[in-house]
Structure formats: structure tokens, C-alpha cells
Amino acid sequence: MAHARSITCDIDAFAMGINELIGDIPMECSDAVEKATIKSVRKGAKTVKGYASKGGIHEWSERYVGGFHSHVDRGGLVTVGEIGNKDEPGLVHLLEKGHATPAGRRTRSFPHMAPAFDEIQQDFVKQATRAVMEAIS
């Protein structure tokens, strides 16, 4: 009995076969991940506010903490979520890492983005996994 070692087909036939197999799953998954991204980023902005308010960041506290917001860019199959501070955008890095003073010393750091990021990342993975599983079932 002879066995075929290879099968050939043109690219259009291959694409049609793949489309028949997976149907609308990629688009459904993309929509599900986009919704999960939006949900997780909004929740993440609140998480960052919580960490920032615990830091007691001097006179900036109220304005700085209140300036955190979330933003989502949607572009085709790619969705990008960002969390930032609209009132004091440059201050985030200075407070998170500390900075040099004119006298050559370093200021104290107030880590609030890094610890929040860990929670945000875990939340996003959970949200996206749940959303994709619902989309494909």
C-alpha cells in the first residue's frame, strides 16, 4: 500500500480550508480580548490610584492621585491599553524611581506603578482568558 508523502494545493484553496475550520473565531476572540483590555485597564487605573494614595506624595497627593486615567487605542486586531497621569505625566517616573537633586543626592522613591502593574497584569490575563473561552465555546 502506498502512502502519500505530500499533498499540494494552491494558497487560495488552503485559505478557504482554514476559514472553514476556524470561521469567525479570530474576530470573536479579538472582540473578546478588546473588551477584556478595556475592563482591565479601567480597573488598573483605580489600582494605581490606590497605590499612589498610600504613598503620601507630599503636596501633589490629591491632584496627582486624581490625575490617573486609562486610555485604550483600538487598531484592527491590536488593542493597546495605557494607564497614565494626565495632570502630572512627568512626575510618575520621578516619584516611582526617585531622582537626583541639584545637590547631588537622590530623593526617596514612591513605588506605586510597579506593584500595581503586577495586579493589573494578573487581572488582564484572567479577564482575557475568560473572554476568549466564552467566545470560542
Q: What is the pLDDT of residues 63-94, one digit of tens each?
A: 888 899 999 888 766 788 899 999 888 888 88
Q: Which residues pair with 83 in a beta bridge?
A: 70
Burial class of 97 by CB neighbour count within 10 A (0 to 12, 13 to 18, 19+): middle
- Between helices 113-136 and 25-54, what is the axis angle to 10°? 160
In contact, 67 and 86? CB cutoff 8 Å: yes
* pLDDT confidence tier of residue 55, bands split at 50, 70 and 90: low
DSSP label at 103? Answer: T
Please say if the pLDDT value at position 117 is more than 90: no
Domain ranges of the chain: 27-136
Categorize the per-residue pLDDT at 5 as very low, low, confident or very high, splitting at 50, 70 and 90: low
More confident residue, 4 or 13: 13
Q: Which residues pair with 51 in a beta bridge?
A: none
Query: Which pTM does this prediction carry?
Result: 0.69
pLDDT of residue 104: 92
Vertex 25: Cα angle to 8 and 29 (nearest 5): 135
Where are any strands of DSSP class E within 17-134?
68-75, 78-85
Q: Over the range 21-53, which residues count as b (16 or more CB within 10 Å of their CB) and which as e?
A: eeeeeeeebbebbbebbbbbbebbbebbbebbb
